[in-house]
Amino acid sequence: MDNLASTGPLSLPDLWDRVTGSQPHPDLWVVIATLVAALAVVVPHGAWRISRNAVTIAHEGGHGLIALVTGRTLTGIRLHSDTSGLTVSRGKPHGLGMILTAAAGYTAPPLLGLGGAALLGAGRITLLLWLATALLITMLLMIRNAYGALTVILTGGTFLLVSWLAEPQVQSGFAYAVVWFLLLGGVRPAFELQAKRSHGGAPDSDADQLSRLTHVPAGLWLFFFHVVSLCSLMGGAQWLLRL
């Protein structure tokens, strides 16, 4: 696909075709290189302390999106510098809507990665970038603290610049790196939560809230988070590597 910035004014039909059209798959070495890059910001502890902010955006965005879908009133979202977050919604304190909202946090990053892998497997690179930008802009409207707003603005601005100004090869590499990051970064938080709970920490975690809502042991909900993240990683890897 041609770079959007390198052409003259586009009509709406032309723009729609460019956004929804398919682009060539990158070479395998690019896919592998972006996988290595994602591992480099997920596995080392120092890099993860910074990159985990992006996973928190997806985590809290998942809570917020499902709250809206299930008819709850989304009050606001806060993102903190310690990579924690808080999503507040109003509605019944029990029932299916509350359960789905609570379950959406840890499952959102890997499922977003899986959806992104499906789009990349179909060659919809530009569509992926624009959808991600739209989701971040929408989330920004619900952010209620300065650090959270800054984090989302920087992340959304990066997506916007890449999707509008970058060359197709750069767009492709960026998109693959982001999806690998979501797939890999979606696995680690559940293991971190498991470690905290094994030492008596995180008594109000999503798993514990779900346990109180459903009377299902928190350990089973934690196992559910593991299943979703690991299955998403395996499924997404097959699409990305075109196995």
Give the 3-state secondary structure percentages of the chain, helix then strand then coil, rounded to 5: 70, 5, 20
Supply the pLDDT for residue 10.
60
The Cα–Cα gap between 80 and 209 comes to: 20
Domain boundaries, the chain: 44-241
Q: Tokens representing 162? A: 């890449």
Residue 201 — very low, low, confident or very high, per pLDDT cuts 50/70/90?
A: confident
* Residue 11 region by backbone torsions, left for phi larger than 0, else alpha for psi between -120 and 50, else beta: beta
Query: Which of 19-33, 45-59, 113-127, 184-198 shows the lowest per-residue confidence on average (mean pLDDT)?
Result: 19-33
Assess contact for 91 and 72: CB atoms under 8 A: yes
Give the mean pLDDT of 213-234: 97
- With b for 16 or more beta-carbon neighbours within 10 A and e for fewer, the 63-88 pattern comes to bbbbbeebebebeebbbeeebebebe
Using DSSP's 3-state secondary structure scheme, residue 62 falls into: helix
Q: Tokens representing 14? A: 């032309």
Residue 18 — very low, low, confident or very high, per pLDDT cuts 50/70/90?
A: low
6 pLDDT above the threshold of 60: no
Query: Which of 11-15, 193-197, 214-218 shows the lowest per-residue confidence on average (mean pLDDT)?
Result: 11-15
27 pLDDT above the threshold of 80: yes
Query: What DSSP state is assigned to residue 77?
Result: E
Residue 76 phi, psi (nearest 5): 170, 165
